[in-house]
Amino acid sequence: MMNYSKVTLLSAALAAFLLPVAAQTSSTAAPSTAPATTGSGSGPTSTGPENANQINQQKTQQERRIANGLANGSLTTNEADALEKKQRELNDEERQMKAANGGQLTAADRAKLQQQQKQLSNQVYQDKHNAALRNTDPKSGIGKTEQSQQEHIAQGVKSGQLTAGESTKLENEESNINAERHADLAANGDKLTQQERAQIKQQQKQVSNQIYKDKHNNVNNTKKK
């Protein structure tokens, strides 16, 4: 009986000694799982593509509004030229920003570009609603051809058959022809010589052919993709 009592007492003492150790081990092991739960859902959110798409959509919308303004006469050729020039400057600025940041736009770059696009959008609106109107009922054959081409470009932009770049190039070619015509008129008492008239008609024919080619190639506006 005495030996049994000694064994019982020793077992109880050993258990009392090991209990704090087990508790300490359990309390130190628990924090090791904490990082796994706190880390879920963390990390940077990639918003670059969405913002880049927004900027591209703004540019396409500007081109469409300018082309429509030319087609319906709410924008003069000079107004459209100035707006197109500003858009090209913004495109150049965007390319420079990307080149300086490994092909990406920073958050500050995107904010700046979007603000500038907003300012340009306001200018488009002001120019389309001022008192300066382009002749929408031209009597001369050259004037009618110019109006028809503007309508074809506007329709191509709207349908997606013309990209922003294609429409810009076509508008620039038309602007150059128009500037040449005005210079010829100013130099000849507001009249065109037979040779000047033939030359302008030939240039307009080339633009018409280019409009057709651009509208029927395989390059479509991103809006249609």
> Residue 190's pLDDT is what?
78
Measured distance CA(186)–CA(181) in Å, rounded:
9
Q: How far apart are CA 133 and CA 131, in angstroms?
A: 6
Those residues with Cβ within 8 angstroms of residue 70's Cβ, 6 or more apart along the chain or in another chain:
77, 80, 134, 150, 153, 154, 171
| pLDDT value for 221 | 53
Band (pLDDT 50/70/90 cuts) for residue 195 is: very high
Residue 164 has a pLDDT of 77
* pLDDT score of 134 more than 70: no
Q: Please report, for the chain, the start and end positions of each structural domain, with discontinuous segments joined by +.
A: 49-224
User: What is residue 75's predicted lDDT score, i.e. its pLDDT?
Assistant: 82
**What is the chain's mean pLDDT, rounded?**
74
pLDDT digits over 147-168, tens only? 788 788 878 877 888 887 888 7
SS3 state of residue 104: coil
Whether the per-residue pLDDT at 29 is higher than 80: the answer is: no
Q: What is the pLDDT of residue 48?
A: 55
User: Is the confidence at residue 39, as pLDDT, over 60?
Assistant: no
* The pLDDT value given to residue 133: 61
Contacts of 95-98 with C-beta under 8 Å, sequence gap 24+, read none
